[in-house]
């Protein structure tokens, strides 16, 4: 039996004896010290245990970014339970799927969303509210709880979190991440990116994904640094924080939107220490514009939900625009051909990785896990890439049919299944086309049944109710037939060429 709680031990070590140091400053300027932050997390843990949450139970959270929401994350870990964050933009039907698949014991949700979820949350033990200003029934329970005496012991192989990632079949898969996965990645990134207790990170990303939670929050905590919390990304507000920050993490859209701000100058950005980008490919053009405007070279890294971070450009050393850098210490990366042969530098193939950051598998989907995980521990990422002579990886495409819009992944199959079910639709194909702001946006080609009068507006309307906003179809094109190859497979590249 583990004597300690592996992840909490790692995340909390740098806070010891620094209780008065600032940890989080929210949009209203309220500062929470490290001491107050952890005390709140201790109380959240006790409140969850008092509600009957036991080791291994899932605690689902659908809440806006706030200090209290971060305390729920850590409190859940301290209770020995599994953190299950959900995108606050999910539709009721989407949330219903996650609740039925992960069967959490408790759901903590934004009061604005809770009412509509009554039906889909009916099977849960408890549904509690938490708003971004620290109110709600869960917040009340936290205030009344005595701090937990000690975190429930958990070892490195115990599950810390479920993060849902969309699937090629249209059904999302719960990636199970262990305490060991998250500890190894947080420490590796802290050391690689030289994060210390003097760092102040601007945090304007959602906290229901790897980037905003396990990269931004875990790295800051493990280093003992501080966060400037933004409710959501607003370019002017982020820029206004540069003088009191050291670092920023963003998806490429964050950087292109900042570049559109006339106030972004070398003088404003100069004192910052580090700009990190990831979650989607950054154009070399954006790298070069950022260098010219600010004098800084963006540090691009690459990762995914199942693996957290895999590669990173160096902090000291050459950051090569267009590449995602070198494998993190302890992580192995290789590129393979269709038969699994390892390819030489410069050859394009499937990117595979192996390391302490690789997840434990998909919840309740052993067959899906086996599809992507080789018996010797190598994981097929589904990305296509090449490694250069110096070991830098470049992502050149994806073998999986996914659209990445503003750093959010969208699986076309999920949209096609919905649209195909609309009366009058014979078949559909969803695909991504380039978008100057979001990188890619979703477009749909539809073939109607003979005699059908269903309109593009009706198709957009029928699908929008069931999907989170970020997955919405931006344009519908009616066609007589979808372009197919001789195997009968829809040619999405051809559709992109026609409508891109």
* Cβ-based nearer residue to ligand AMP, 223 or 249: 249
Q: Please, what is the minimum distance in Å from the beta carbon of residue 324 to ligand AMP?
A: 5
By CB under 6 A, tell whether 412 contacts ligand MLC: no
By CB under 6 A, tell whether 465 contacts ligand MLC: no
Question: How far are the Cα atoms of 115, 203, 284, 365, 499 from residue 273, in angstroms, in the given order?
Answer: 44, 15, 21, 42, 41
CA dist., res. 461 & res. 475, Å (int): 12
CA dihedral 354, 358, 361, 362 (to 10 degrees): -120
By CB under 6 A, tell whether 351 contacts ligand MLC: no
CA dist., res. 325 & res. 321, Å (int): 9
CA dist., res. 276 & res. 187, Å (int): 16
By CB under 6 A, tell whether 251 contacts ligand MLC: yes
Residue 423 CB neighbour total at 10 angstroms: 9
Instruction: Tell the burial category of 371 from Cβ atoms under 10 Å away from its Cβ (0-12, 13-18, 19+).
Output: exposed
* Cβ-based nearer residue to ligand MLC, 225 or 278: 278
Task: Identify the residue among 253, 294, 357, 428 touching ligand MLC (CB under 6 A).
Answer: 253
Give the binding range for ligand MLC (CB under 6 A) out of 192-200, 282-290, 301-309, 380-388: 301-309
Q: What is the CA radius of gyration of the chain?
A: 23
Q: Give residues 371-400 in contact with ligand MLC (rule: CB under 6 A).
A: none
Residue 60 binding partner per list ligand AMP, ligand MLC, none, with a CB distance cut-off of 5 to 8 Å that depends on partner kind? none
Applying CB under 6 A, the residues found at the interface with ligand AMP are: 165, 210, 278-281, 300, 302-305, 324, 381, 383, 395, 398, 404, 409
* Cβ-based nearer residue to ligand AMP, 23 or 255: 255
* Cβ-based nearer residue to ligand MLC, 166 or 253: 253
Q: Please, what is the minimum distance in Å from the beta carbon of residue 200 to ligand MLC?
A: 20
* Cβ-based nearer residue to ligand AMP, 281 or 412: 281
By CB under 6 A, tell whether 40 contacts ligand MLC: no
Binding-site size for ligand MLC (CB under 6 A) equals: 22
**What's the distance, CA 308 to chain centroid?**
9
Residue 395 binding partner per list ligand AMP, ligand MLC, none, with a CB distance cut-off of 5 to 8 Å that depends on partner kind? ligand AMP
DSSP string, 108-121: EE-HHHHGGGTTTT
DSSP string, 371-436: HHB-TTS-EEEEEEEEE-TTS-EEEEEESS--EEETTEEE-HHHHHHHHHTSTTEEEEEEEEEEET
Instruction: Tell the burial category of 258 from Cβ atoms under 10 Å away from its Cβ (0-12, 13-18, 19+).
Output: buried
* Cβ-based nearer residue to ligand MLC, 211 or 354: 211
Start-to-end CA span in the chain (Å): 56
Q: Please, what is the minimum distance in Å from the beta carbon of residue 454 to ligand AMP?
A: 32
* Cβ-based nearer residue to ligand MLC, 129 or 307: 307
Q: Please, what is the minimum distance in Å from the beta carbon of residue 204 to ligand MLC?
A: 7
CA dist., res. 303 & res. 307, Å (int): 6
Chain positions contacting ligand MLC, by CB under 6 A: 205-206, 209-212, 232-233, 251, 253, 278-279, 303-305, 405-408, 438, 469-470
């Amino acid at each position: 039996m583990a004597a300690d709680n592996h992840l909490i031990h790692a995340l909390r070590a740098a806070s010891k004896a620094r209780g008065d140091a600032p940890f989080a400053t929210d949009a209203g300027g309220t500062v929470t010290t490290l001491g107050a932050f952890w005390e709140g997390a201790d109380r959240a843990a006790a409140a969850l245990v008092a509600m009957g949450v036991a080791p291994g139970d899932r605690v689902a959270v659908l809440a806006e970014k706030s200090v209290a929401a971060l305390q729920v994350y850590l409190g859940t870990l301290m209770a020995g339970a599994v953190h299950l964050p959900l995108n606050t933009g999910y539709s009721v039907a989407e949330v219903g799927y996650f609740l039925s698949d992960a069967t959490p014991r408790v759901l903590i949700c934004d009061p604005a969303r809770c009412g509509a979820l009554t039906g889909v949350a009916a099977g849960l033990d408890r549904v509690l509210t938490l708003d971004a200003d620290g109110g709600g029934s869960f917040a009340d329970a936290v205030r009344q709880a005595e701090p937990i005496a000690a975190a429930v012991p958990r070892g490195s192989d115990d599950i810390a979190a479920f993060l849902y990632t969309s699937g090629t079949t249209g059904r999302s898969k719960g990636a199970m991440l262990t305490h060991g996965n998250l500890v190894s990645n947080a420490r590796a990134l802290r050391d690689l990116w030289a994060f210390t207790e003097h760092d102040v990170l601007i945090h304007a990303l959602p906290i229901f994904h790897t980037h905003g939670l396990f990269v931004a929050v875990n790295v800051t905590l493990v280093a003992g640094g501080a966060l400037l919390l933004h409710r959501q990304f607003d370019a002017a507000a982020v820029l206004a924080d540069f003088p009191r920050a050291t670092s920023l993490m963003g998806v490429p859209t964050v950087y292109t939107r900042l570049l559109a701000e006339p106030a972004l100058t070398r003088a404003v950005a100069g004192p910052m220490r580090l700009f990190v980008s990831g979650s989607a490919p950054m154009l070399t053009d954006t790298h070069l514009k950022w260098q010219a405007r600010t004098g800084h070279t963006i540090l691009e890294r690459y990762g995914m939900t199942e693996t957290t971070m895999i590669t990173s450009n160096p902090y000291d050393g050459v950051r090569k625009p267009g590449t995602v850098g070198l494998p993190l210490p302890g992580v192995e990366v290789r590129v393979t051909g269709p038969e699994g042969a390892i390819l030489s530098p410069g050859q394009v193939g499937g990117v595979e990785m192996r390391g302490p950051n690789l997840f434990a598998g998909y919840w309740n989907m052993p067959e899906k896990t086996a599809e992507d995980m080789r018996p010797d521990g190598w994981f097929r990422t589904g990305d296509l890439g090449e490694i250069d002579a110096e070991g830098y990886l470049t992502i050149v495409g994806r073998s999986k049919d996914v659209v990445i819009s503003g750093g959010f992944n969208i699986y076309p199959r999920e949209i096609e299944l919905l649209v195909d079910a609309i009366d009058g639709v014979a078949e559909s194909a969803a695909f991504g086309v380039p978008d100057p702001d979001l990188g890619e946006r979703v477009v749909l080609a539809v073939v109607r049944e003979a005699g059908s009068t269903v309109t593009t507006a009706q198709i957009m309307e029928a699908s929008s109710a069931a999907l989170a906003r970020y997955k919405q179809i931006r344009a519908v094109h009616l066609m007589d037939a979808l372009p197919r190859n001789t195997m009968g497979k829809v040619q999405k590249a051809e559709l992109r060429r026609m409508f891109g």
